[in-house]
Amino acid sequence: MPQAPRLHRRGLLLGTAAMTGGVVLGALPFASREAQAAPRVYTRADWKARPPKAVATVLPQGPDHIVVHHTASQNSTDYSLEHAFGLSRAIQNFHMDDNGWDDTGQQLTISRGGFLMEGRNRSLEAIAARQHVRGAQTLGHNDHTIGIENEGTYLTERPTKRLWWKLAYTCAWLCDTYDLDPYEAIVGHRDYVATACPGDELYAMLPALRATVATIMDITSPRRELHPPRRGPFPTPRTRFDHGPAASPGER
């Protein structure tokens, strides 16, 4: 597998359409607002997170892959910020109370309204330092992957445009921060473990996501698809917020 090049934020290619895997995405929105800075991330204080049972472990190196998840929850039509904050609290309660974890498992969460929120404690601190908070989101791979939970269940439906574009800009921000090649770095949960996550529809959109992120980062050379698709059948969610194997007993 080719070595990922060192990448740096550049201007957007305005008016460019990204098309791959049968998905046409159209012109990139929000160019002037998000080209020069990280997307707006609502902190744990913003959504009134509970204190964690333990302070998260920060590893000195950055992650080498970005794992796309779905939350395996309702495809809500409430796109408000208040709903997004409630989603983060509900995920944290499930992870701490039902799963017995120390905190929220994933590092970042995106609502169907397109709001991006910090997940596990110290996640934003670690990203700012180009380091990595060990999460509980992909079994056996939590030391080297950063996880993004996308609100909804995408077995048969696609995400909202607001979620999709926030996911693309978030991945571009992370790839730029950690010098990752989007064609190499962006994967689905099922690429590592036996799970339907992030759903057949969102998983099928990952080639388009990689190409869109490359366009945002002004990577213009054509690239081959590095990730052969993993097709099921896979175990489907048993309960709300069950997106598949996420953590071992030592990864809480």
Phi, then psi, of 29 in degrees rounded to 5: -90, 170
Q: Where are the domains of the chain?
A: 39-47+57-216
User: How many angstroms separate the Cα of 55 from the Cα of each of 99, 239, 247?
Assistant: 17, 27, 17
The amino acid occupying position 245 is: P
DSSP 159: P
| pLDDT at residue number 43 | 98
User: Average pLDDT per run of 10 along the chain, which is 252 residues long?
Assistant: 39 35 48 58 98 97 98 97 98 96 97 98 97 96 98 97 98 96 96 96 97 91 74 74 71 68
Counting every residue written for the chain, the total comes to 252
| Cα 203 to chain centroid, rounded | 12
Query: What is the architecture of the domain spanning 39-47+57-216?
Result: 3-Layer(aba) Sandwich (3.40)
